[in-house]
Amino acid sequence: MFRAGRSVSVAAALLFCVVAAPACSKVQARTPAGDPVEPPMLATPEPPSRLKLPVPVDPPAATGSTAEKPSVPAGRGKPPAATPPAGSSSTVPPPTPPEPATSPVIQAGPDVEQKARDRLRQAQNDLKRVQRASLSADAKEQYDSAERFARMADDALRAKNFVYAGYCADKAATLASLLVKAGGRVPHA
């Protein structure tokens, strides 16, 4: 009896496959034959008009002249055209090339430098108290970040950028003190 039931189910599955196979072989969508229809062209709008204002270029005033500068009346954006002094020649000397840009040195008092050095020293002392090998993965990341900030602060001190050195030293000292307080564990915020 078991064999008869099995052969019936196999025959039903085979019949289903024979009937369903032709339906799967033609899954293409057909369109009626005729001339292909081209899509309409998209109409692009004209770009918005722009307000173009002429920009006057005034030649630089000759050095050493005592000509008075024209004043700009309130409410107007451009000054009136400058007239050359009566005794000057019509040729204008070529402008001097600008000086090469150097990194800005921020003027800070000696107290800013001393604070940065103190915070850097404190961060380095705290980092010496922590053994990196015994730290967890998160704490090692904090330790490495503190070392990078300390290195950046030292570089900034050598470049005499005391404000940035103070910022980096403060970050390094904060991270290092948190590592010391947590005993090597990273505290959760």
Q: What DSSP character marks residue 50?
A: -
Please tell me the predicted confidence (pLDDT) of residue 38.
80
Degrees to nearest 5, angle at CA 179 with 176 and 180: 90
Q: How far apart are alpha carbons 59 and 68 in whole angstroms?
A: 15
Distance CA 95, CA 167 (A): 40
pLDDT digits (tens, 9 = 90+) for 132-166: 888 899 999 999 999 999 999 999 999 989 999 99
Domain positions in the chain are 110-181
Six-digit token pair at 127? Answer: 């980092």
- Mean pLDDT of the region 6-21: 83
Per-residue pLDDT reduced to its tens digit, 83-112: 555 555 556 666 666 665 555 555 567 788
Asked if residue 90 lies in contact with residue 99, where contact means CB atoms within 8 angstroms, the answer is no
pTM score above 0.95: no
DSSP character at residue 30: -
